[in-house]
């Protein structure tokens, strides 16, 4: 005969230890296990951020290449039509974000005179004009207004054959690195431990949001400053003014007296201005070397929650 079931009263009268089914708790996680988990989480987070930055870079690069192709095609069509290959300046600025923050700039009297001057120089001058037409607005077409994090201001384009590419301090691959740019590389090595590249193409910086802006955007071969005071300064001042007024938290790197004079256009209550001597061979030892502008720029960007610039080329 089966044993009868215990009544509720009899069950409750048992010692508590017998009534309760003991469930063993899982062993505590070791410090090493917790550390490994945290390390894995941090690693995944870092990889995710790096992957996101890489995707953003590739998108921006593709967009800048599209803009470059638009300009190249316009010049090619003009040449194929039997002309001298001249395209009006306003047609070569194809990046819409700049057209939106500089409305009507090309219709102003000074800009019309500038356009006439550049057209005359391109079509009638016995000396070549640099950079090539499709690269005149390369800085703006490569770095959209809404992606500008840093501005590096130069004076006018390199005037030797094949040097100018529309980005301040930058030269195409295959062209000897100018002394000023080599000094920039030396400071980068001292500041951030970057290795010195074999070429002078700074496009990678521009795509990340570094606006490499010369104050004057064209020049005659072997004649430095030959296109100065023709209207370009007013145009690029308008660019700087638009960044100052409509942007926020941009880092301006002003190297040398010429660039530092542009600080009058910048609202320093909204932006960051770092000044030093120019990186040229004549002045780099007077304050450019040791300025640490590249690491300081990244510290500022990270403090604002922005991805830092990868300065290594």
Tell me which residues are annotated as active site.
Answer: 156
Q: How many helices (H) and strands (E) does the chain have?
A: 12, 6
CA distance 102 to 162: 30
Q: What is the dihedral of CA 277, 98, 218, 175, to 10 degrees?
A: 70
DSSP state of 216: S
Q: How many CB atoms lie within 10 A of CB 65?
A: 14
DSSP letters spanning 106-161: GGSHHHHHHHHHHHHHHHH-SS-EES-GGGTTHHHHHS-GGG--EEEEESS---ST
CA distance 227 to 220: 7
Any idea how long the chain is? 313
DSSP state of 175: S
CA distance 115 to 109: 10
CB 70 within 8 A of CB 137: no
CA distance 211 to 205: 8
CB 309 within 8 A of CB 205: yes
């Amino acid at each position: 005969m089966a044993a009868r079931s215990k009544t509720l009263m009899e069950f409750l009268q048992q010692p508590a230890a017998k009534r309760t089914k003991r469930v063993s708790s899982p062993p505590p996680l070791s410090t090493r296990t917790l550390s490994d988990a945290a390390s894995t989480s941090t690693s995944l987070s870092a990889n995710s951020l790096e992957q996101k930055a890489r995707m953003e870079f590739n998108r921006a690069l593709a967009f800048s290449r599209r803009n470059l192709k638009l300009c190249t095609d316009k010049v090619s069509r003009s040449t194929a039509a039997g002309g001298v290959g001249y395209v009006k300046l306003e047609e070569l600025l194809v990046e819409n974000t700049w057209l939106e923050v500089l409305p009507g700039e090309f219709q102003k009297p000074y800009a019309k005179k500038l356009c006439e001057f550049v057209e005359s120089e391109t079509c009638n001058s016995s000396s070549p004009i640099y950079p090539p037409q499709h690269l005149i607005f390369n800085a703006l077409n490569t770095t959209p207004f809404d992606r500008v994090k840093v501005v590096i201001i130069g004076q006018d384009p390199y005037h030797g054959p094949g040097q100018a590419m529309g980005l301040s301090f930058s030269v195409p691959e295959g062209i000897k690195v100018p002394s000023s740019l080599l000094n920039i590389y030396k400071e980068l090595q001292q500041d951030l431990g970057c290795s010195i590249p074999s070429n002078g193409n700074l496009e990678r910086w521009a795509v990340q949001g570094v606006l490499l802006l010369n104050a004057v955007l064209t020049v005659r071969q072997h004649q430095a400053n030959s296109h100065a005071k023709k209207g370009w300064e007013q145009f690029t001042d308008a660019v700087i003014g638009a960044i100052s007024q409509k942007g926020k938290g941009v880092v301006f790197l002003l190297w040398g007296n010429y660039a530092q004079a542009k600080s009058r256009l910048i609202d320093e209550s909204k932006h960051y201005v770092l000044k030093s001597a120019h990186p040229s061979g004549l002045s780099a030892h007077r304050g450019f070397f040791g300025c640490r502008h590249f690491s300081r720029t990244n510290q500022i960007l990270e403090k604002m929650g922005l991805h830092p610039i990868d300065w290594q080329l």
